[in-house]
């Protein structure tokens, strides 16, 4: 007996199934049909025996929710292929600064092309780092949900207020501030004064925060001993470090206590984060998330974080693509494949959770995205049986 009549009040519906459906909030589902309206909202999940088989769209492979990319630099998309791989972060940052320009058709086309690629690759939401307003207008018309992280720099205490005000001014250029935050770039590019200004503002506005963390071994060396390439880089960019003394601890253990302990915070890269650092961080902030961008790590440093270490410590993990300046593609599926290759014992169901629901929870959009549930509109991705391709159904 078909229950199709239960849904006749809707003008248009699709009945979709695949070999498996990863709803994320439960184990993989089989012999399950998704009833979806013409805009992609999930009306129900039912046993396929309750639906007329002639009405069902059947796909090979498996279906999962749309991907959430929690770390990207969309405005750098025009740098695709312009920076050589394996040169290390010190070289990479110098090259990015050389290639930066205020605006122009090349930048806008890069943004447009990157957004289209992410959409095609099943990405439905992005946490995007912004140093300029170049992407703002375009995002108003994108099919992707964006949270704009306005990034500021000032290692010199005397420049903190000016940098903070610059960030606020850039945030004012957004059509709405609702889906935005003002954040610091990294521990080595923020003075204590700047972190204090950002933290006060974040607590007042209940902002979600993010910061690049321990991407290189030199980051910890800088904070422990005031040595290494970061010190050289600061001097290269004309930043005075003569009055700064190394605190003698890891960058994370130095920086984290200067950030709010209750706001959601995403730590990005974490390539050289130790078990001690993880324990310290998880104890300090219960709303902590850890983002991995494995392809970017390989592109820049040819080094991956010890993801098993984070699993063992019950960390909330998300995934990011970083940017076209530091990646071969803007595809969360490609990031998943890298993790599976280097960490084969991690279950696909677990990695898919990082790529969907965990990212949605960090961005505060889990009521719409992140899992396949009734009354959600999460986007639907079809992944081929060999995990080589992703096709966006909705």
pLDDT of residue 236: 87
Q: Helix 229-236 to helix 217-225 angle, to the nearest 10 degrees?
A: 80
Q: Report how far residue 191's alpha carbon sits from residue 52's, in angstroms, rounded to the nearest whole number.
A: 64
End-to-end CA distance of the chain: 28
Angle at 246 between CA 245 and CA 252, to 5 degrees: 140
How far are the Cα atoms of 37, 164, 309 from residue 313, in angstroms, in the given order? Answer: 40, 34, 7
Q: Report how far residue 208's alpha carbon sits from residue 265's, in angstroms, rounded to the nearest whole number.
A: 6
List CB contacts of 257: < 8 A, sequence separation 6 or more: 284
The CATH code of domain 67-369 reads 3.20.20.140
Q: Give the strand order in the sheet containing 42-47.
A: 42-47, 32-37, 13-21, 56-65, 380-383, 390-392
- The two counts, helices (H) then strands (E), for the chain are 14, 14
Contact 356, 67 (CB under 8 A): yes
Nearest partner of 321 among 67, 71, 65, 68, judged by Cα: 71
CATH 3.20.20.140 domain position(s) in the chain: 67-369
Nearest partner of 37 among 369, 367, 394, judged by Cα: 394
Contact 210, 194 (CB under 8 A): no
pLDDT of residue 190: 97
pLDDT of residue 362: 98
pLDDT of residue 2: 45
pLDDT of residue 7: 52
Kindly report the backbone phi and psi dihedral angles of residue 98, in degrees, each rounded to the nearest multiple of 5, phi listed first. Answer: -65, -35
Q: Which residues of 353-363 are buried (b: 16+ CB within 10 A; e: fewer)?
A: bbbbbbbbbbb
Residues of the chain with pLDDT under 50: 1-2, 5, 9-11
């Amino acid at each position: 007996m078909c229950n199709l009549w239960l849904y006749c009040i809707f003008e248009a519906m699709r009945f979709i199934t695949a070999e498996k459906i990863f709803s994320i909030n439960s184990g993989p589902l089989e012999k399950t049909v998704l009833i979806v309206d013409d805009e992609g909202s999930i009306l129900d999940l039912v046993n396929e025996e309750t639906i007329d088989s002639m009405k069902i769209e059947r796909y090979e492979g498996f279906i999962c929710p749309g991907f959430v990319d929690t770390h990207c630099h969309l405005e750098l998309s025009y740098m695709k292929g312009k920076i050589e791989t394996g040169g290390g972060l010190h070289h990479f940052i110098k090259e990015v600064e050389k290639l930066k320009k205020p605006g122009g058709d090349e930048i806008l086309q890069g943004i447009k092309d990157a957004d289209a690629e992410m959409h095609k690759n099943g990405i439905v939401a992005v946490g995007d780092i912004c140093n300029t307003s170049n992407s703002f207008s375009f995002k108003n018309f994108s099919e992707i949900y964006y949270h704009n992280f306005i990034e500021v720099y000032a290692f010199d205490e005397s420049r903190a207020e000016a940098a903070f005000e610059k960030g606020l001014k850039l945030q004012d250029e957004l059509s709405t501030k609702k889906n935005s935050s003002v954040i610091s770039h990294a521990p080595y590019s923020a003075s204590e004064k700047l972190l204090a200004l950002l933290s006060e503002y974040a607590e007042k506005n209940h902002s979600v925060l993010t910061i690049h963390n321990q991407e290189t071994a030199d980051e910890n060396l800088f904070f422990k001993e005031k040595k290494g390439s970061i010190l050289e880089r600061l001097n290269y960019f004309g930043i005075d470090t003569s009055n700064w003394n190394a605190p003698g601890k890891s960058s994370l253990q130095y920086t984290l206590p200067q950030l709010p302990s209750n706001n959601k915070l995403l730590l990005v890269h974490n390539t050289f984060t130790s078990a001690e650092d993880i324990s310290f961080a998880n104890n300090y902030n219960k709303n902590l998330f850890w983002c991995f961008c494995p392809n970017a790590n390989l592109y820049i440093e040819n080094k991956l974080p010890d993801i098993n270490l984070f699993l063992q410590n019950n960390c909330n993990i998300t995934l990011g693509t970083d940017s076209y300046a530091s990646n071969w593609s803007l595809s969360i599926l490609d990031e998943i494949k890298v993790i599976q290759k280097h960490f084969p014992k991690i279950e696909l169901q677990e990695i898919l959770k990082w790529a969907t629901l965990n990212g949605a929870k960090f961005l505060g959009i889990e009521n719409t995205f992140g899992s396949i549930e009734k009354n959600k509109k999460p986007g639907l991705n079809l992944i081929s049986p060999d995990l080589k391709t992703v096709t966006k159904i909705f």
